[in-house]
Amino acid sequence: MFSSLMKNGRLQVLLFLCCLLFVLACLLFAQPGPRRWTASVNMENLKDDEGFETKVSKEIFYQPSSSEKNFSEPILTNVSDLTQLLRERLALPNDALKITHKGACEGHETDVQPCSKEGCPALSAKPLEKRIKDLVLSPQFQLNDDQLRNILRVVRDVPETDIIIATASSSNHFKEMQAMFKALHSTVYPKLTNFTVVVFDIGLKKRQRKLTEKYCRCRVLTFPFKLFPPHVRELHCYGWKAIMIRGLITKARKLLIWQDTSIRWTDEFLSVFHRAMVFGQQFLESMHGARLTSHTLPQMFAYMGEESCQYFAYRETQCGFQVLKHDPLVIQAILNPWTRCALEQSCMCPVVPESVIRCSKSVSSFEPRCHRFDQSAMSIILSKLYAADRYRFAVPEYSNKNPKYVSIKRGDRLDDYFSRDGSLQ
């Protein structure tokens, strides 16, 4: 009888082990369900004190592609949700001043003022969902796995923080960068917490880099041009800027601020940050800006599948200043198309840049008089997405002569700020 019990006990143990092995096998080899990220407006540290509506009615869900699982980089799976987010943004109360054009193009053949080209359908007539589909699903606007992987390698040493402020400099902008940091140290640094400032070295001299690392109170990174197509190495094509911004947005939990070394903030800069948290982004557009088509080559319109005549009514936007929320609409409908264009020479830099970087003083029969590269591409994308409502996402009351929030001061330079004790405080 004892022997029989032993046999039964062994059998029970054997059955238990078999069941355990079966459960483990199921856990190991079963297909995992999709991971989910949620994106919603978080105003905990950037509260809106300007009276803007901040409510967003629904969360947007994502799942990662195979190349992004190690980077926590969101990919939108539902175009209708993204369309709804755009619809809600367009319906928010907004105090931005609408920027208008002069009317019909007849009589404006020899100037660069925005105007309506006869016979061209208005961009505003395109349904919101169609705009989203064109920007998110069109093959010429999508980043493939290898491109995205290399973009994320650019920022692997950048820590995640709520706010990231970024710029890039070569040796000829070193003095301008010193003036920028003097302004940042005195105006911006004292008012922010949980932020990182990043400088991309795109051609600094060794001594300039050492001084920057010592005095800037920032992270200095070398941009890895070798990871990208040869035209990106051409600084005057400006493709590197879109790549940097697309990578950095993954490390900014709330806001990414890009500023060229010529950008200067006023004491009221937090109002722009608040607006970006509500509307998703802030950019600069001048009331006196030139017609987009007069500063954009036809090859760029062709790459994007656009008729240039639809863009005669829009001014170019500034691309040396951007405040971007870590946001599905910003990433999927703006930064991805912009970055893909930057990676394609036929889009961003279809000709030798030196031949088109200077704008001709003469204007003839609506022909482009120069090309603005990254600025042209971003202006097209923002017009395509927002159409006549583009002004809603621009910094209000922008004037470079009497700046309320921010200004562009090209030529503002300092020779020795990075050798003064003040920059270390």
Give the phi and the psi of residue 224 in degrees, each rounded to 5: -85, 80
Question: Is the separation of the CB atoms in 176 and 261 below 8 Å?
Answer: yes
**Residue 313 belongs to a domain:** yes
**Residue 31 belongs to a domain:** no
pLDDT number for residue 347: 98
**Residue 249 belongs to a domain:** yes
Question: Residue 75: which domain range?
Answer: 37-424
**Residue 73 belongs to a domain:** yes
β-strand 252-259 against 219-222: which pairing, if any?
Answer: unpaired
Domain total for the chain? 1
Kindly report, residue by residue over 355-393, the tens digit of the pLDDT: 999 998 877 768 899 999 999 999 999 999 999 999 999
pLDDT number for residue 288: 82
Biggest CA-to-CA distance, the chain: 111
**Residue 22 belongs to a domain:** no
Q: How many residues does the chain have?
A: 425
Q: What is the pTM of this model?
A: 0.83
**Residue 19 belongs to a domain:** no
pLDDT number for residue 70: 38
pLDDT number for residue 87: 97
Q: Tell me the three state secondary structure of residue 320.
A: strand
pLDDT number for residue 419: 87
Kindly report, residue by residue over 19-72, the tens digit of the pLDDT: 566 655 554 444 333 322 223 333 344 543 333 333 333 333 223 333 333 334
Q: Check residue 318 and give left, alpha or beta (phi > 0: left; psi -120 to 50: alpha).
A: beta
pLDDT number for residue 154: 98
**Residue 118 belongs to a domain:** yes
**Residue 11 belongs to a domain:** no
β-strand 195-201 against 281-284: which pairing, if any?
Answer: unpaired
| Whole-angstrom distance, CA of residue 203 vs CA of residue 125 | 45
pLDDT number for residue 400: 82
User: Other CB atoms closer than 10 Å to residue 147's CB: what's the count?
Assistant: 20
pLDDT number for residue 303: 98
pLDDT number for residue 35: 29
Rounded (10°) CA dihedral 58, 133, 384, 324: 40
Q: Report, as ranges of residue numbers, the positions in the chain whose pLDDT lies below 70.
A: 1-77, 102, 365, 421-425
| Exposure string for 24-54, b = 16+ CB within 10 A, e = fewer | eeeeeeeeeeeeeeebebeeeebeeeeebee
pLDDT number for residue 286: 85
pLDDT number for residue 374: 98
Cα–Cα distances in Å, from 273 out to 165, 277, 394?
12, 6, 12
| Whole-angstrom distance, CA of residue 338 vs CA of residue 377 | 6
